[in-house]
Amino acid sequence: MKEIIKKAVIPVAGFGTRLLPATKSQPKEMLPIVDKPAVQYVVEEAIKSGAENILFITGRGKRAIEDYFDYAVELEKELEDKGKTDLLDEVRNISEMAKFFYVRQKIARGLGDAINHARGFIDDEYFSVLLADDIIDSEIPCLKQMINVFRNYRGMILAVMEVPRDKTNIYGIVNGKKISDRVYEVSDLIEKPEPEEALSNIAVIGRYILNANIFNAIEETKPGKGGEIQITDAIKSLIGREKIFAYEFKGMRYDVGEKIGFLKANIAYALKREDLGSELKEYLKKIVEETT
């Protein structure tokens, strides 16, 4: 069994309704976190974790993502003519980070259906799925942490974190036995349960290591919450037939698909920048002083 997971799937077909009206005419994944689109942070995490081939599951109105990871011939020529070599290298490197592939989800039928569109891209192997709404700031990339767990346990791996009990109805929730530090063997899964129905407060976050058996499971899964085919339900159907583990990753997760998470991510990443951090910190301190 391969220990390096070289294929990553990034579903980007969602409408981004939580960020309207900004997402009315542009993909939510292309909204900037400081000076890079949100999706680039996720792509970089995949590559730093060993991915070489990245498949985007796109939808209508997502052409900007394809253009972004393609060569920008006219722009590159202008930067070259003007001697702006640093910017030229930065722009050119975007298209050369990995091999990029695209398939369109013509009808939005849920995350499970989106992942099923990767069937032709995946052989009989394990692959990763990264959701672009979730940016995870960590010393060791979240996906790389999960691959280290995969090497020890040889099964599907779900990234998880603790959430407040009153928030369980916006996540897939796992139940399982803790078998080592931060690792659980999953015994049950439920999609977006109300707090009184939740098995625990351990929530699945947008990182998965799956194998090709997930595709038949998705095909057999009926629409669930919201009338969509949920990947949580498909994974649940494999319990008992596949080894499934949950890993409580190390790092700070930002849900950049909603407004407060988007703002927090911009502030956090800007504060880490040598060229922006000090000035922004002083500005934030001034705002706090003026409003208290």
* CB proximity list for 74: less than 8 A, separation 6 or greater: none
pLDDT classification of 1: cutoffs 50, 70, 90? very low
Statement: residue 57 has pLDDT above 80 = yes
Per the CB < 8 A criterion, the answer to whether 183 and 247 are in contact is yes
Question: pTM of whole model > 0.85?
Answer: yes
- Best CA proximity match to 108, nearest among 172, 170, 59: 59
Give the residue extent of every domain in the chain. Answer: 7-270
Residue 50, classed as helix, strand or coil, is coil
Phi then psi for residue 184, to 5 deg, are -120, 145
Q: In terms of CATH, what superfamily is 7-270?
A: Spore Coat Polysaccharide Biosynthesis Protein SpsA; Chain A (3.90.550.10)
pLDDT digits (tens, 9 = 90+) for 174-207: 999 999 999 999 999 999 999 999 989 999 999 9
pLDDT digits (tens, 9 = 90+) for 243-280: 999 999 999 999 999 999 999 999 999 999 999 999 99
